[in-house]
Structure 1
Amino acid sequence: MGKEMVHAFAARGAHVVVASRKLENCEAVATEVAETYGVRALPVGFNVSSWDDCDRLVETVYAELGTVDVLVNNAGLSPLYPSLSEVSESLFDKVVAVNLRGPFRLTAVIGERMAAGDGGSIISIGSIEAIRPQPHALPYAAAKAGLHVLTEGFARAYGPKVRVNTIQAGAFLTDISDNWPEGLQEEMEPKIALGRCAQPHEVVGTVLYLATSASSYTTGACLRVDGGWA
């Protein structure tokens, strides 16, 4: 979904930062975006689970671009495990670090700067798992549920100049879905009102709504984009 969002922002004239663990992937997307739309695209390699990396990312972005108008927390990690009792401490900690700790740090530091400046919008990509947790993804669900608390708390902390919202994403066909247990997609789709899982680009409309003045009175909200999950 991240690549789709980057293209959507760049297509509307925004300078973008492409930040992820694999720098070479970020560089490829940044080059493609810059050549296609004529905007500045800054690739940054960083590990969202690292507090220090989050801080370095913020310093790099402000040094290069001067300001941040929109932050999208899009990191996600949901590894498979044999059973709940076999979830290791390291796996649990890693899932929480990527899905909750990193977004907390980035939102805290960038949100503070936004509030001291001209304001902005912060959007986190959550999951329907946060309110409908499944046994195969409980650590992930718990971490994403934590985003709900952060969303309302940060909205209060940094309002009125900063809006903070979360998208509760349903079953999107992304790199995470590539690791779903066999048969899970076929099991889920009959429970979805639209009868299918989502393609990555189908989150873009909601992201743009939350990023722009179209959502000027929306903050502290968790919006479902799940195709009508029953």
Structure 2
Amino acid sequence: MSRTVLITGASSGIGEAMAHAFAKNGDKVVLTGRRLERLEAVKTDLEAKYQVSVYDYPLDVTKKEMVETVCQTILSEVGPIDILVNNAGLALGLDKFQDYAVEDMLTMLDTNIKGLLLVTRQILPQMVERNSGHIINIGSTAGIYAYAGAAVYSATKAAVKVLSDGIRIDTIDKDIKVTTLQPGIVETPFSQIRFHGNKERAEQVYKGVEALQAEDIADVALYVANQPRRVQISDITIMANQQATGFTIHREV
């Protein structure tokens, strides 16, 4: 049976790959993100390839009023959301905490934690009312293993894990699943954003290692979402083959 899947940060990277995975599965997909032109391009691609219903809505998850308005519009125009994928998130910078740009710190907090909270708070009540739903939150191995230059980013991803656990507890009497996906090194525009557009520096992150691809994480998300009612997968950690912890990576010279 076709489900309605809402994905935040769906304009590129893991979010875009998630959209393809669920659309290929025959699900109705709702794309949200800050770049409308990219969302529209993804929407056109999905509709052409999979002949499914696709909707797109510009959304900046850091803006409270916008989140409230857009989420309520989605619920009114598209209908109930069966699966919410909280994918919107980012890292900015890789400096020692004492040297970090405060604005970068606050942007990570606003996006990775507050954004997830705001969107989930708008979508979860209708899941509770219908006694049905699945929330998939994208965490990171950084939330398990802190690493140098990533104190704040790691803290935000640790918060994603704990928030997921707390929401699962609060909805334990409902037929709602909550899953945290914790990817390791994934080759996406993530590092280019982290280094404020410095493509050469971003490329060094993936040098010498066969990194995960966005499609790998999307495949896992679809697997989690397609389990029978009795199965709730609470957490999955996905790492590259030559990755042992968050930043313990063997690189071929």
Cα distance between partner residues in 2 of 1:2 and 1:203: 10
**Matched residue, 2:224:** 210
CA displacement, residues 72-111 of structure 1 (integer Å, 9 cap, x when unaligned): 0111211115432122332211101111111112122211
Q: Compute the displacement of 1:184 (Å).
A: 3.5
SS in 2 for 1:163: strand
- Find the partner of 1:197 among 211, 217, 236: 211
Cα distance between partner residues in 2 of 1:57 and 1:225: 31
Task: Name stretches of at least 5 consecutive residues in structure 2 with no aligned partner.
Answer: 1-13, 196-200, 245-253
Cα 1:215–1:97, aligned 2, differ >3 Å: closer, same or farther?
farther
Does residue 34 of the first structure (1) align with residue 47 of the second (2)?
Answer: yes
Aligned residues with identical type, % of pairs: 27
Task: Name stretches of at least 5 consecutive residues in structure 1 with no aligned partner.
Answer: 190-195
Does residue 177 of the first structure (1) align with residue 198 of the second (2)?
Answer: no
Q: Compute the displacement of 1:205 (Å).
A: 2.2
Checking the alignment, whether the CA contact within 8 Å between 2:93 and 2:104 is kept in structure 1 is no
The TM-score, its normalising length taken from structure 1, stands at: 0.89
Q: How many residues get paired? A: 222
Checking the alignment, whether the CA contact within 8 Å between 2:61 and 2:118 is kept in structure 1 is no
Cα distance between partner residues in 1 of 2:159 and 2:95: 24
The TM-score, its normalising length taken from structure 2, stands at: 0.81
SS in 1 for 2:187: coil
Structure 1 vs Structure 2 CA RMSD: 1.9
Structure with the higher fraction of residues in helix conformation:
1
Cα 1:81–1:226, aligned 2, differ >3 Å: closer, same or farther?
closer
2:76 maps to a residue whose letter is A
Checking the alignment, whether the CA contact within 8 Å between 1:112 and 1:158 is kept in structure 2 is no
**Matched residue, 1:193:** none
**Matched residue, 2:236:** 223
Checking the alignment, whether the CA contact within 8 Å between 2:140 and 2:181 is kept in structure 1 is yes
**Matched residue, 2:33:** 20
- Find the partner of 1:55 among 51, 54, 68: 68
Consecutive aligned runs of 4 or more in structure 1 exceeding 4 Å deviation: 179-182
Q: Compute the displacement of 1:70 (Å).
A: 0.4
Checking the alignment, whether the CA contact within 8 Å between 2:92 and 2:105 is kept in structure 1 is no
